[in-house]
């Protein structure tokens, strides 16, 4: 069988040292697999997002069987926020609370805690922190507390999008002292600018995250 595109990509080969493993001290963090990002009809659809859904579901099953914690992050914005282009930000309206776009994708297996972010109009990139779009103040989400309460020391990250929320979540995880792995074939990038995905992967690796195959 011919190797797939991930296997032949030299950047991916450079960061493919190990397979993800799970235990009760590990958390799988599934980032923002919501309709507006993961469905082609979504307002901020990520190319190839549909391809990673089965891989994420496989990881959820393996993680749960090993007794690991599984956490899902979910953008949950008000109708107007400085995060949106119509209100001065850079993004189209997306993941507005209680709308179809904000719902977790129906093909995603949800078997764990859900952490919502951006509910008060913050820039909610990381699963761990949000930034007030007006003052710039950083605000923690409940994610770190949840992981500490469950004695988690290691996180495995997948989801959307590589160059924004996955990147921010991985960088925060490293800053907070968690051993961190990012699943290379269970993430997908927006790539607003050419090379954004590769730059994000380099930043995560430089911060000490391990970029692994699944």
Considering its fold, how many domains does the chain have in total? 1
Catalytic residues: 32, 117, 165
Which segments of 35-178 are extended strands (E)?
Answer: 69-75, 113-117, 129-131, 138-140, 154-160
Query: Residue 74 has which token pair?
Result: 């979910």
Residue predicted with more confidence, 148 or 136: 148
Indicate whether 107 belongs to any domain.
yes
Indicate whether 119 belongs to any domain.
yes
Phi and psi (nearest 5°) for 138? -90, 135
What is the pLDDT, as a whole number, of residue 120? 87
> Residue 111 sits in a domain of what CATH number?
3.40.50.850
Using pLDDT thresholds of 50, 70 and 90, give the confidence band for residue 213. confident
Average pLDDT over residues 60-75: 97
Whole-prediction pTM value?
Answer: 0.90
Interval 85-112: pLDDT, tens: 898 888 889 999 999 999 999 999 999 9
CA angle 143, 149, 151 (to 5 degrees): 105
Helices in the chain by DSSP H: which ranges? Answer: 5-8, 10-14, 35-38, 49-65, 143-149, 167-175, 196-206
Query: Residue 142 has which token pair?
Result: 């409940």
């Amino acid at each position: 069988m011919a190797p797939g595109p991930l296997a032949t990509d030299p950047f991916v080969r450079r960061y493919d040292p190990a397979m993800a493993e799970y235990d009760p001290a590990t958390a799988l963090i599934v980032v923002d697999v919501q309709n507006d990002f993961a469905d082609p009809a979504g307002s901020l659809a990520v190319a190839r997002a549909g391809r990673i859904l089965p891989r994420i579901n496989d990881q959820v099953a393996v993680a749960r069987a090993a007794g690991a914690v599984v956490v899902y992050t979910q953008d949950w914005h008000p109708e107007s926020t400085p995060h949106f282009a119509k209100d001065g930000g850079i993004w189209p309206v997306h993941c507005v609370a209680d709308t179809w776009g904000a719902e977790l994708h129906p093909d995603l297996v949800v078997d764990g805690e859900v952490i919502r972010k951006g509910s008060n109009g913050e820039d909610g990139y990381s699963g761990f922190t949000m930034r007030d779009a007006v003052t710039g103040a950083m605000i923690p989400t409940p994610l770190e507390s949840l992981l500490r309460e469950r004695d988690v020391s290691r996180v495995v990250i997948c989801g959307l999008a590589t160059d924004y929320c996955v990147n921010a979540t991985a960088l925060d995880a490293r800053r907070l002292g968690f051993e961190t792995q990012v699943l290379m074939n269970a993430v997908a990038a927006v790539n607003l600018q050419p090379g954004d995905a590769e730059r994000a992967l380099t930043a995560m690796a430089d911060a000490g995250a391990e970029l692994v195959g699944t």
